[in-house]
Amino acid sequence: MGFDDAITDIFDENSFARYLEAPEKVQHFSDAVDNEILACIQCGFCRAGCPTFGETALESLNAKGRVSLAFHMLMGNLEPSEDLAKRLYQCMLCLNCRSVCPAQVKVSDIVRAARERLVAAGYLPEAFKPALASMIDAANPLLAPPEKRTDSYPSRFRVAEPGKTESILHLGCVTSFQDVKIIPAVMKVLDAAGVDYGVLGDKESCCGYLAYLVGDMDTFGKAMGAYVSRLEEYSPKRLITTCAGCLKTFRDLYPHYGWKNGIEVLHFVELLETLLNKGVLEFSKDAPALKVVYHDPCDMGRHMGVYEPPRNVIKFLPNVELLEFPLNRALAKCCGGGGGMKGYDNELAGEIGYKRLASAIDLGADVLVSACPSCKGSFNQAAARARKEKKGKIRVMDITELVASRLAS
């Protein structure tokens, strides 16, 4: 019997028999997750929002199907297996399903809980194991030597001092080792605005978000512990990041798992919006005209509710016209790389990202802008394919790069 057979994926009048007649045999996740699973009415509205279902048309690869699989895990009808892991790791945890769900079911919480159970049973996909080991051994999930973290920094950069630096700029692993163009851009803007900040440099470590996403809570706990210790050593008043995933981790996950320090956590665009309103930055009025479309990162948008600051920043720039995707803000489609998908199924992630980028080209945008280095990486991959297939040309930029490029010299 396959996971896409109706008998496996659809609740019926007998589905709750074990829950009612033999509750001691039910394999609970947690009260909160159990309640989310039982709240799903299997209406199928989520099909319209789920990017993986849009590519595969498989019931087990939409929110309804994944909740059904979790339900059967709850009832003890499904044991952890490689096949089950494949369905549950082909989810981007993008929350698009919840945007169209009448019951507002927190599907990402359900999928993550199921992943934790898979990890505990030994079914963590091999694709993630090197990255998770590197997260602890090298303080980053990219298998990069930790001493190389600052190699891509400008020749002169501000190093944070314990107890003295008010704002720590957390650049993150993807920015430090892969999308290094963001680093001089964000520093240029902060320097121009006169912000007192410093970086941890080679003492910066991974926030642990990937481990959380894939359900490896032991590794997440170690990564969080290491980072919290560093923050306690430096005692900043504010933590600034350019990464949407790091924002969610610091602002949402760390407090949830016990960190109650009270440090203000901001995405760079939130700080930048405040700086622009204060009038501390000057922009070139002679810069060439650009049509820019903004992509809402899932972690920053649906997960954290940050929609308007990046748009306000873009609107502030002279000679820049802000375009909108037909599906934007809470309905924005994922770049394809969320939830660990890019590391698990790059082909499926690539198809999803390509559709989003193609929509930007159809709008007539010169530049596709996001506020997440992982999204930028997904779209750069898609843009290369678009050029090769002669679909069209479009630049992909992080919002830090766009702002830095328009500063008055």
Model confidence pLDDT, tens digit, residues 98-107: 999 999 999 9
Which of 245, 274, 303 is the last residue before a domain boundary? 274
Same structural domain for residues 147 and 66?
no
Tell me the average pLDDT of the chain. 94
Which of 254, 274, 294 is the last residue before a domain boundary? 274
Same structural domain for residues 134 and 116?
no
Domain that holds residue 389: 282-405
* Cβ-proximal residues to 365 (8 Å cutoff; 6+ apart), any chain: 291, 292, 293, 323, 394
Q: What are the pLDDT digits (tens) for 302-327?
A: 999 999 999 999 999 999 999 999 99
Same structural domain for residues 31 and 47?
yes
Query: Token match 């199907």: residue?
Result: 65
Average pLDDT over residues 113-133: 98
Same structural domain for residues 302 and 368?
yes
Same structural domain for residues 75 and 99?
yes
Same structural domain for residues 290 and 157?
no
In a domain, 1, yes or no: no
In a domain, 70, yes or no: yes
Closest CA to 95 of 51, 156, 147: 51
Which of 60, 92, 123 is the last residue before a domain boundary? 123
Same structural domain for residues 222 and 308?
no
Predicted confidence at residue 262, as pLDDT, reads 87
In a domain, 337, yes or no: yes
Tell me if residue 293 falls in helix, strand or coil: strand
Q: What are the pLDDT digits (tens) for 12-54?
A: 556 666 666 767 778 999 999 999 999 998 999 999 999 999 9
Q: What are the pLDDT digits (tens) for 141-171?
A: 999 999 999 999 998 899 999 999 999 999 9
Number of domains in the chain: 3
Give the separation between CA 37 and CA 106, rounded to whole angstroms. Answer: 9
Predicted confidence at residue 143, as pLDDT, reads 97
Average pLDDT over residues 202-216: 98
Average pLDDT over residues 346-362: 98
Closest CA to 349 of 80, 106, 94, 84: 94
Average pLDDT over residues 157-186: 96
Same structural domain for residues 134 and 270?
yes
Residue 132 has pLDDT above 60, yes or no: yes
Looking at the DSSP assignment, which residues form a beta bridge with residue 264?
238
Here the CATH number for the domain that contains residue 32 is 1.10.1060.10
Here the CATH number for the domain that contains residue 369 is 3.40.50.10700
Q: What are the pLDDT digits (tens) for 269-301?
A: 999 999 999 999 999 999 999 999 999 999 999
